[in-house]
Amino acid sequence: MSEDIETITLWRPVGPEELALIRDLDMRGFPPRLPDQPIFYPVLSQDYAVKIARDWNVPRSGSGFVTKFEVRKDYLADHAVQEAGGRAHLEYWIPAEEMDQFNAAIVGTIEVTKTFP
């Protein structure tokens, strides 16, 4: 890959089950959505991801994690930023059927930046 690929840094709050699936993919992609998950929503700020991981994933599954990754800007250009309940809550809505294309647009690996036990 060329070194001059423009990327956007995104974050994704996940629970332990999704993190295990990401690890199964060698930290290079996200698993397919479940039937009741028509949208994949990576977020634009670490603070928003922390809030979801801490306030939603921990009570629901016992722990939460914040992941950080780079996505090609040209791929994201076809997707509008969505506001989810406030200006600080910005995310992309990636249709579940586009997960293969989204994963192909990830540059490098996904890293865990925060853990909430």
Cβ atoms of 53 and 63 within 8 Å: the answer is: no
User: Among positive and negative, which fits the CA dihedral 23, 44, 80, 85?
Assistant: positive
CA distances from 72 to 9, 20, 85 (A): 9, 24, 26
d(CA 6, CA 73): 6
pLDDT of residue 87: 83
| DSSP secondary structure of 50-64 | HHHIIIIIHHHHS-E
pLDDT of residue 36: 93
Residues of the chain with pLDDT under 50: 1
Domains along the chain?
7-116 (3.20.170)
pLDDT of residue 3: 65
